[in-house]
Amino acid sequence: MKKTNLLYEGKAKKIWETEDQNLLISEFKDSLTAFNGEKKSSEAGKGALNNKISTELFKLLASNGIPTHFVEMIDDNNMLHKRCDVILIEVIVRNIATGSLSKNLGIEDGTVLPFTLVEFDYKNDELGDPKLNDQHALILGLVDYQDELDKLRRMARQINDILKPYFFDKGLKLVDFKLEFGKDMDGNIILIDEISPDNCRFWDIQSGEKMDKDRFRQGLGGLKVAYENVLKRIMEN
């Protein structure tokens, strides 16, 4: 499958059209951004690692009944996937308090939440991806019905129920993660984008070491080594 027209370029990926109008190619970039683009850098090989990690996790989720846009990994940096209408809601799933949740609500960093928290953010860079409630989402027309918001929450919890024990067995705590969804050509809501250390927080169970993009956000260094470690654990039986 060959790339034709560049459809969109974001912070972490370029999206290309192909000869098939129903299929797109995501090209994973090495760029790094944080704090709504205020902090920028790049790390050679980061894009390929995210592509490989996302490929394995999309396969895992599909085998457990979660519909995704994934078709195949073309090469190290390119993924073939279905064309979808993106739902402009970022779905945040939290198992442990850290980051903005701790900062905004005063919950001590590292506190295990009494239940899995699912939040919505408006996918809008110009506005800084603000928090949404259900009424906001409906007023903005981000979904057509309340049932669709309920489905996003339900799918997010199902994905968490698969990934949380999976990573625990790999020696990692799944602290929180961001999901994106879209509607396929038949109007079905499916998982899209990527699942990688760029949009997940992983803490090593034994050492507490951060194995995700917080290494860039917090200036810890060793980002590529951490991503390689996550991929290695995923590939081990």
pLDDT at 36: 77
Give me the CATH code for the 85-222 domain, please. 3.30.470.20
Q: Is 196 helix (H, G, I), strand (E, B) or coil?
A: coil
CA-based end-to-end distance of the chain: 31
pLDDT at 38: 83
Reported in sequence order, the residue ranges of the chain that DSSP labels E, i.e. its strands, are 3-9, 13-18, 23-28, 31-34, 39-42, 70-75, 78-82, 85-96, 112-122, 131-132, 172-183, 189-192, 200-204
Per-residue pLDDT of the chain (237 residues; tens, 9 = 90+): 899 999 999 999 999 999 999 999 999 999 999 987 789 999 999 999 999 999 999 999 999 999 999 999 999 999 999 999 999 999 999 999 999 999 999 999 999 999 999 999 999 999 999 999 999 999 999 999 999 999 999 999 999 999 999 999 999 999 999 999 999 999 999 999 999 999 999 999 999 999 999 999 999 999 999 999 999 999 996
The CATH superfamily holding the domain 3-82 is: Phosphorylase Kinase; domain 1 (3.30.200.20)
pLDDT at 88: 98
For residue 117, report the phi and psi dihedrals to the nearest 5 degrees. Answer: -95, 130
User: Domains of the chain: which residue ranges?
Assistant: 3-82, 85-222
